Amino acid sequence: MGEVEEEEASMVGLDQLPSALLATIMVKLDVSSICSVGSTCKTFRHCASHVLSFIPTIHLLEIAPSIELLRPLLPPNPLMRSLKMDCDRLNDSAIRLLVRPSLHELHLHNCADFSGKLLSEIGSQCGDLKSLYLGSVAENRGRALHVSDLEELLSGCTQLEALFLMFDVSIFIRHNFARAWALASTKLTSLEIGYISSVMITELLHPNLEPPHIQPSVLPRIQKLSLSVDYITDAMVGTISRGLLSLTHLDLRDAPIIEPRLTFDLTNSGLQQINQHGKLRHLSLVRSQEFLVTYFKRVNDLGILLMADSCANMESIYLGGFCRVTDTGFRTILHSCSSLCKLRVAHGTLLTNLVFHDIRATSLSLTHVSLRWCNLLTNLGVKNLVSNVDLRVLDLRDCKSLGDEALRAIGTLPKLKILQLDGSDITDMGLSYLRWRVITSLTSLSLRGCKRLTDKGISLLFEGSSKYELQELDLSNIPSISDDGIFSLARARLPILELRLRQCPLIGDTSIMALASMQAREEGWQGSRLRLLDLHNCGGITQLSFRWLKRPYFPRLRWLGLTGSVNRDMVDALARSRPFLHVACHGEELGADPSNRLDDSYMREYEDLDEFEQWLLGGEDSGDNDDDNDDVDDEDVPMEVAEFDAEMEE
């Protein structure tokens, strides 16, 4: 007995390690874990505040801190190199805290309440800055943003290599804007702009002097360009391709509000001009259907053939909205680009199995494949596609003709991490092909809208005591999923962090209880590890669930989706008692980056409409739809209207 006690007394506990070693451990943690450790005992509290004064990286994107919360987290720290923050609750008074001369990387999201002073302060203080991301600057009413602020930013940050201006820069007057860019750092290699009109960018890059082989004075060394414009036009694509000599990544996305005219659209000749300097590796041309159902109607196979001619070294291609391109075009891409790793096609209306018919003959080894809204793709095409055994990401959402045979083929992929099969015609039998092998390597699985699945399929999928790596699971819009299915998830002790169960009428209070008491597989965790739970429109949720959504249950939950109409008072009380939990009541998509998940997926809101209703509503702006089944957040509509106004004024 005495020996055991002696042994215990001599064993070192974590709080008995020397403070230098404790600091070595804590420096490897993220900010919220540091604060969590700092709340346990005096030694750690001291160590945590010490670590915050020399930690090089502070990334806090999961919550939007207020300035009172932020102050203790950002003490004077001469070694701070990288700062990422959600600034939703901050304004100009926080500039002093956020802008530090030692920074090399600064990413500030949701800066709607800041004015242009943020840009000028960054320009004057952060001379060593290499990477800058600014989201939604000065978007709130009454916040001023002048081109002089942009000029100060560009001239001050002389070492800037990557710049992300994720707001509408078309508010700047055109000739002043072009002049500002002449001041930009010559090291700038990566540029992304949230919204710019195609006329502005064409004028910006248009060389001032003849002959055209003289390097433009603006943005000479840009390698990565990512723009969101109003219309992708031939002129713009031509100017970009001619003017930027070192371009390796080109990412263009447009969202027309009216049907584009010939002079304001992409045609075959525009595609022919791509990659004039032969360095392009990644190309992305996407026509979004955010405001209007429209496509690249003036591009057909000829354009793709002309483009593929000069694009033999491409590694990644994303074509969205090319409805007139047939199998010939897509096949040419596969056969000409021998280094292709990532292929994404959205709205490939004429894409069929023939594209992948002889993919084995190529030496391609695709790792990311995304084929959305390709309704002519069937199981045979997928069977040929999975000859690429290195596939890590497979996104076959909204390909309505896919069934169980496709899953049988997918079940052979050894390295698959992300699988998305929304809206396909699979059944429980198909899911069983994923057992034992693919399901143990998957980190993200989406089966939204696969209406033929039942609880049995889900339970069989997660049967057995394998170790799973699944972190995201989407079982929304599956009518037969009930509490039994959720029990099987809890029993399997899946380490899921995000679970979406939108519009599942049979999910009820017992599911919440099961999820709340789900034990993690490893030691030391108490309670659920879920960070995101979406229960929008789940039929069985009653007041009883709210008891299980309060503390101490779901300690790590950051996002919760409920139907606000169920019990408004309780929802408000919950939101008040858990101030750092985002509670969504209007059916918005959840997540830190909902646009990533949306990705033209506003179309998901049409799931409950049958084909006739879809035809009736087709072509209308989704924001105008007042249909009860429509889950689009009404609050989004005024923003779109504001953008319309900006367009009209131009």
Partner 1 sequence: MRYLALPLLSQNLTESTARAQTLSLYLQLSLQVSLSQRNESTMSSSSSSLPSCPKKVVTLKSSEGETFEIEEIAALQSKTLENMIDENCADTPIPLPNIKGKILAKVVEYCNKHAEVGVDAESLRAWDAEFVNVENTTVFDYILAANFLEIPTLLDLTCQSVADMIKGKTPAEIEKTFNIKSAFTPEEEEQVRRENQWAFE
Binding site for partner 1 (CB under 8 A): 11-15, 17-18, 20-21, 24-26, 28-33, 35-42, 44-45, 63, 65, 69, 72, 523-526, 529, 551, 554-557, 578-581
CB of 535 to partner 1, least distance (A): 18
The distance of Cα 308 from the centroid of its chain, to the nearest Å, equals 28
HSE-up of 605 (CA within 13 Å, CB side)? 25
In angstroms, how far is CA 552 from the centroid of its own chain? 30
If the CB atoms of residues 421 and 557 are measured against partner 1, the closer one turns out to be: 557
Strand partners, 163: 132, 191
CA trace torsion 439, 444, 449, 451 (10° rounding)? 10
Round to whole Å and give the CA distance between 239 and 115: 32
Q: How far apart, in whole angstroms, are the C-alpha atoms of residue 166 and residue 287?
A: 19
In the complex, the smallest distance separating the C-beta of residue 573 from partner 1, rounded to whole angstroms, is 15
Nearest distance from residue 29's CB to partner 1, in Å?
Answer: 5
Q: SS3 for 568?
A: helix
Q: How, if at all, do strands 393-395 and 368-372 pair? A: parallel
And the tokens for 312?
Answer: 């033999």
Cα–Cα dist 634/345, whole Å = 30
**In this structure, what are the phi and psi dihedrals at residue 29, rounded to the nearest 5 degrees?**
-100, 160
Nearer Cβ to partner 1 (27/258): 27
Note the Cα 135 to chain centre separation in Å. 14
For residue 211, what are the CA distances in angstroms to 142, 239, 426, 521, 595? 45, 14, 59, 67, 42
For partner 1, the closer CB: 422 or 498: 498
* Residue 408 C-beta: closest distance to partner 1, Å: 29
3-state secondary structure of 580: coil
User: Residue 418 Cβ, how far from partner 1 at the closest point, in Å?
Assistant: 22
d(CA 404, CA 6): 63
At its nearest, how many Å lie between partner 1 and the CB of residue 548?
14
Q: Identify which of residues 80 and 557 has a Cβ nearer to partner 1 in the complex.
A: 557
Q: How far apart are CA 439 and CA 427, in angstroms?
A: 16
* Min separation Cβ 45 and partner 1, Å: 7
Q: What distance in Å separates the CA atoms of residue 156 and residue 142, rounded to the nearest whole number?
A: 26
**Selection from 204, 203, 243, 193 nearest residue 221 by Cα:** 243
Write down the least CB distance from residue 61 to partner 1, Å: 13
Question: How far apart, in whole angstroms, are the C-alpha atoms of residue 136 and residue 194?
Answer: 8
- Whichever of 38 and 321 has its CB closer to partner 1, that residue is 38
Minimum distance from residue 174 beta carbon to partner 1 (Å): 43
The residue among 65 and 320 lying less far from partner 1, judged by its C-beta, is 65
Q: Which CB, 323 or 592, lies closer to partner 1? A: 592
Nearer to partner 1, 12 or 648 (CB): 12
The residues with which 282 forms a beta bridge, in sequence order, are 249, 316
Q: Using the minimum distance from each CB to partner 1, give the nearer residue, 138 or 470.
A: 470
Q: How far is the CB of 526 from partner 1 (least distance, A)?
A: 5
State which residue, 33 or 176, has the beta carbon closest to partner 1.
33
